[in-house]
Structure 1
Amino acid sequence: YDASEGPPLVASDFDFVCDARSPGEYAEDHVIGALSTPVLSDEERAQVGTIYKQQSPFEARRLGAALVSQNVARILMEHFQGTGSGARVLVYCWRGGDRSLSLAHTLSRVGFDVHLMRGGWKAYRARVREELGRLGRFDLRLVRGVTGCQKTVLLQKLRDLGAQVVDLEGAADHKGSILGVNVDAPQPSQKLFESRLADEVARFDDSRPVFIEGESSLVGQRTVPSALLHSMRKAGSVLVEAPMDVRVDFIRQDYKYFEGRAVDELKERLQRLRQLRGGATVDR
């Protein structure tokens, strides 16, 4: 499989997509829907690299082979128990080298229909970046409105009805406002945010409109791709409104953790708002 050609990879094209890189590399960015199946952990990868530099390539390969063998056995037990021989499996690592080859060879010998991603994650990342530059091609419909108007809920309903929707807040794991942080997890990296967007639009029909929430250039700490942002600024829009009491009720429900376990986070966020809007405004 060549990730540098055609549309961005969609994991559903295969029964399994296996990322053979270390957990740290996977966390930074990965094919959306891929399993983390590291043939070397972060610590093992560092250990092998140190031996390669300080002792010899031979000693590094010997240790690496032993560790990879153990980890491939674990991967088979954890992810492929009960899987039939007809399963289509795509394997990749950083650049299509030894790590993906070692896992792919074993899976192939077992009898699975195994494919290697030529060029690995680097080729996939190049394809994602190419796709980001083309995001301006869509006929966008902007959904605008102040916080609490349930714009995200509306977009979800549209998607359920078959509309094409780009969920910037979902991809960024952030609700967009100064209070929009996910208190349970950090935002994805910029690269993973971009991969999520590329994956989201991979099956879109260019002739149909695409609905998207009106956002600034930042969603939390993640930057909206410039081609998409430029298209958003030219797009027609729909303004969503709601009475104040409805907005208040929705916000309290949507951010209910701020009234309980995350009250300290709320106080810290309000201090930031005080700096932006002034103490008198926040105190009201």
Structure 2
Amino acid sequence: MPKKIPIEEFLPLTDSLPLVDVRSPKEFEEGHIPGAVNIPLFSNDERAKVGIRYKQGGNENAVLLGLEIVGLKLADFAKQARKLARKKEILVHCWRGGMRSASMAWLFETAGLKARTLEGGYKAYRRFIRQEFSKPAKMIVLGGYTGSGKTDVLKELEKLGEQFLDLEGIGNHKGSAFGQLGQDKQPSNEQFENNLADHWRKFDFEKTIWVEDESRMLGRCGIPDPLFQKMRNSTLLKIIVPKPKREKRLVKEYGEFETAELLQSLEKIEQRLGGLATKEARIALESGDIKKVAEITLYYYDKAYHHGNESRNPKSIFEIEVEKDEPTKTAVELREYLSREI
């Protein structure tokens, strides 16, 4: 008989065993446990029909309809599970750990597999990961004005053995009005939290976790409040890179995009940039002067970033002058600074 296990035991098993999510495709698309494979017991339309039958005729009638729907699919479900299973073991979950996962787990065991289900289902998983973001952690936030190359510095730190929570990489967004350019489609906010939690749970919380200074929203993805508050209350190492170096980096990063794409991004900050500055930036864009656009937009972003740091405790902010845009060298200097000064 399939065994139900709590989320604390279930989640680590997903690192080594295949996980089947038996919810409908729509539920899966909105958010799922990273690495899960969707073998839906019901299609979206079928699930809706069973729900209506339940409301109109009660549980028994809904179950009978469900059996009629899935009857012809059972052999295919079992074949898919056998292909996925590792050493004849498989994990299964649904929304609340109820009939859908129990039925599929029973089928998989009948087909010769060892199946385990998640107690409380996906709902329990979501509750658990929200709590995990409140876990105590030693965090260092890397800050700096736009164009400072913070992400590249953090990736170099990761190569040196540091732990890096790549919020922008997980959210497919660089944070600014231009942040979606060149990125894959963003996940839903729910899936962003799930993917974030998957990285978070694998860290060694006895060691430092590095993260880039961000506003709460990365495009349409919001950083969970417990994590965001942790970031705001942590030590901030702010690298000060000369503005000409930052302008040069922005030209390199965004100069490859079409003018229409850049104009569309520029329109997002038109109100905050001001009519005159926006007009000048448009003219510069249309003439191919990306450096001028960088100069104009940096005035706004520098001002906004400075304002954002005003709510931090000044004693938690440490500024490090960086003469050149050399991420590898800067990463080494930051590690040395951290061990020496903090």
Q: How does 1:229-240 map to 2 (within 5 A)?
A: 229-234=228-233, 235-239=235-239
Alignment partner of 1:275 is 2:276: no
Asked if 2 retains the 8 angstrom alpha-carbon contact of 1:144 and 1:151, the reply is yes
Q: How does 1:101-250 map to 2 (within 5 A)?
A: 101-134=102-135, 137-181=136-180, 186-234=185-233, 235-239=235-239, 241=241, 243=245, 244-250=247-253
How many correspondences in the alignment? 273
Report the secondary structure of 1:13's partner residue.
coil
Q: TM-score scaled by structure 2? A: 0.71
CA distance in 1, matches of 2:22, 2:157: 36
Counterpart in the other structure of 1:73: 75
Structure 2 unaligned regions, length at least 5: 282-342
* Structure with the higher fraction of residues in helix conformation: 2
Report the secondary structure of 1:101's partner residue.
helix
CA distance in 2, matches of 1:28, 1:241: 40
Aligned equivalent of 2:48, options 46, 49, 56? 46
CA distance 1:169–1:51, change in 2 (3 Å): same
Report the secondary structure of 1:236's partner residue.
strand
Residue 40 (structure 1) shift: 0.8
CA distance in 2, matches of 1:268, 1:78: 45
Per-residue deviation, residues 85-109 of structure 1 (Å, max 9, x unmatched): x243110001111111121112112
One-letter amino acid matched to 1:228: L
Per-residue deviation, residues 21-80 of structure 1 (Å, max 9, x unmatched): 111111222211111221111111001112233345444322312323444433444464
CA distance 1:73–1:153, change in 2 (3 Å): farther
Counterpart in the other structure of 2:26: 24
RMSD: 2.7
One-letter amino acid matched to 1:37: I
Residue 178 (structure 1) shift: 0.8
Structure 1 unaligned regions, length at least 5: none
Report the secondary structure of 1:143's partner residue.
strand
CA distance 1:182–1:70, change in 2 (3 Å): farther
Asked if 2 retains the 8 angstrom alpha-carbon contact of 1:166 and 1:212, the reply is yes
One-letter amino acid matched to 2:28: Y
Residue 240 (structure 1) shift: 6.5
Moved more, 167-176 or 87-96: 167-176
Moved more, 158-167 or 70-79: 70-79
Identity of aligned residues (%): 34
Asked if 1 retains the 8 angstrom alpha-carbon contact of 2:20 and 2:39, the reply is yes
CA distance in 2, matches of 1:156, 1:182: 20
CA distance 1:10–1:159, change in 2 (3 Å): farther
Residue 9 (structure 1) shift: 2.0
Residue 153 (structure 1) shift: 3.0
Q: Which has the larger radius of gyration?
A: 2
Asked if 1 retains the 8 angstrom alpha-carbon contact of 2:18 and 2:85, the reply is no
CA distance in 2, matches of 1:162, 1:69: 52
Moved more, 47-56 or 270-279: 47-56
Residue 264 (structure 1) shift: 4.8
